[in-house]
Amino acid sequence: MPPKPKFTRDEIAAVAFAMIKEGGVSALTARDLGARMGTSARPIFTLFKNMEDVKRAARALAVKEFMEYISDYQEYTPAFKRIGMMIVSYGIHEPELFKLLFLQEHPQGVSFEESLKDLNGMDDTCVRLVMQDYGLTEGEARLLFEQMWTHALGLGTMCAMGVCGFSEEEIGRRQGIMFASLLMFIKSGKLDQVIVHPEKRSENPGFQAEKHPFQLK
């Protein structure tokens, strides 16, 4: 009969989570995790398949903490903007957990929708808030959400990686400008006029920028 594990999965995951929070994903090794728990690495692998499995359990705890971090959005108007600002704030105040949540490669490339599946339906919540506050259809609201989510993650990544820092006022201003621009564009009914592939002027001598309403002049 195999010996009873000294620790539970939850206890090991909690220590792994703390290690990542303090030193990043690279700080989580079997040897150091065992040492932190006062044992060897062997007991870890009686409960986990490998260290990737441990990291997934730690990430689940990070998701829970992140959802709690942004959970006060219902106390604010507009609620959707509060969510965006708190995403960036998480990158500032919890950079290593932000990296764990949003900057880890998937074993295979996944779609935008699939990348949000473990965030407890946050995408649907955001879409509902946008529909409710701005009178958009579900498709329009989802388009706006996807663009704003990408924008918020971009700002958060810049902060988490130490590229630059933003004040709360600057975060709000940058997101406000982006949101207002997207909202006006979506309501313009001209989505079909977006330039997807720019043309080389040499290949189209008759091309004139002013023909396109969204071409920069």
Q: Which residues, other chains included, contact 170 with Cβ-Cβ below 8 Å and sequence gap of 6+?
A: none
Check pLDDT > 80 for residue 147: yes
Write down the mean pLDDT value for the chain: 89
CA torsion angle for 66, 123, 54, 72 (degrees, to 10)?
20
Q: How confident is the model at residue 88 (pLDDT cuts 50, 70, 90)?
A: very high
Confidence at residue 195, expressed as pLDDT on a 0 to 100 scale: 83
Give dist(CA 74, CA 7) in Å, integer: 38
**AA identity, residue 127:** V
Residues 126-145 have a mean pLDDT of 95
Query: 108-116 — which CB contacts under 8 Å span 24+ positions?
Result: 112/146, 116/149
- The total of other beta-carbon atoms located within 10 Å of residue 142's CB is 18
Share in percent of the chain as helix, strand, coil (round to 5): 70, 0, 30
Specify the DSSP class assigned to residue 62: H
Residues 194-212 have a mean pLDDT of 68
Task: Please give the model's pTM, rounded to 2 decimal places.
Answer: 0.85
- DSSP sequence for 81-95: HHHHHHHHHHHHH-H
Give dist(CA 103, CA 97) in Å, integer: 9
Residues 40-66 have a mean pLDDT of 93
Block residue for tokens 């009686």: 46
CATH of domain 9-60: 1.10.10.60
